Amino acid sequence: MAIPRFAVLAHPVAHSLSPRIHASFGRQMSIALDYSAIDATAEEFGNALGAFAASGGVGANITLPHKQRAAAACDTLSERARRAGAANTLTRGATGWHGDNTDGVGLVRDLTGRHALDLRARRTLLIGAGGAARGVAPALLDAGIGDLFIVNRTPERADALADALEQPGRVHPRYLDDLKALGEFDLIVNATSAAREGAMPALPMSLAGARTAAVDLSYGEVAIPFLAWARAAGAHDAIDGLGMLVEQAAESFALWHGARPDTDPVFAELREHRAALVTAD
């Protein structure tokens, strides 16, 4: 019997921990799988996904910068992916790809479980309006946060995400220039790839306070600038996206294999691996 093929599609993809995570899940659950990484630019994405399917691929994780593109490539979408307008988990069926989005539930599981945060009624700032932001915004609203303010380098995209969320009295698009006047937030989520591109926007210290939880959806070096700002601004919590990555991967694994793995040992393994790399440097 052929071992089922899975992959993560991104650009760049060399840094991705997804192959390592899914290999760990497979060993834990005694499930044989082949999980690879495929580097595809925006122009190459459609052909790369088609070639993967033609080679026997049955499941794919999608990350930057392709999540909205992936949703458009699917024949069917889950309610989560439809609400987000973005897909990070694709499953191959008889009629084509089915898209889902596990980012939001992964983030909420990490924050409320691993970090024991109560998200209810938290005044929230979401920085970014691309595929990552679209993936987590609906789940944060469902988790009971208070007002959600969305800022983005391109104001039109913030407006579009706010419109898509369909909660005008609770969701407020703003401009980056408005940040100084917005006051303090209980939860700040950085969902941009700006640090990866060396263009992290300047954030006023007034956004964070003694009870603020600051969360970067990225992990590793690209999360450092935002988390450093959060600590300097006095935020109570500064959390990177490693836990979310593991939790959303576990949701994807469950969709594909019908069983959800234990995420704690895999998260601990990745933290130890990262600490060893820092020590080696």
For 6-29, how does the pLDDT look when each residue is reduced to its tens digit (9 = 90+)? 999 999 999 899 999 999 999 999
Q: Is 26 annotated as a binding-site member? A: no
Q: Is 251 annotated as a binding-site member? A: no
Confidence of residue 64 (pLDDT cuts 50, 70, 90): confident
Q: How far apart are the first and last CA of the chain?
A: 43
Q: Is 135 annotated as a binding-site member? A: no
Domains and CATH numbers, the chain: 5-101+246-272 (3.40.50.10860), 104-240 (3.40.50.720)
**pLDDT value of position 195:** 57
Confidence of residue 261 (pLDDT cuts 50, 70, 90): very high
- The answer to whether residues 246 and 267 touch, using CB atoms and an 8 Å cutoff, is yes
- The answer to whether residues 78 and 99 touch, using CB atoms and an 8 Å cutoff, is yes
Which strands sit side by side in the sheet containing 34-39, from one edge to the other? Answer: 34-39, 5-10, 57-62, 89-93, 96-100, 76-77
Q: What is the overall mean pLDDT for the chain?
A: 94
In percent, how much of the chain has pLDDT > 70?
95
Q: Is 159 annotated as a binding-site member? A: no
Residue whose entry in the numeric block shows the structure tokens 């009971």: 144
Which is more confident, 275 or 71? 71
Rounded to whole angstroms, the Cα distance separating 280 from 196 reads: 23
The residue annotated as part of the active site, out of 11, 67, 82, 257, is 67
pLDDT at 278 over 70: no
Is 67 noted as a catalytic residue in this protein?
A: yes
For 177-219, how does the pLDDT look when each residue is reduced to its tens digit (9 = 90+)? 999 999 999 999 999 976 566 667 889 999 999 999 999 999 9
For 81-140, how does the pLDDT look when each residue is reduced to its tens digit (9 = 90+)? 999 999 999 999 999 999 999 999 999 999 999 999 999 999 999 999 999 999 999 999
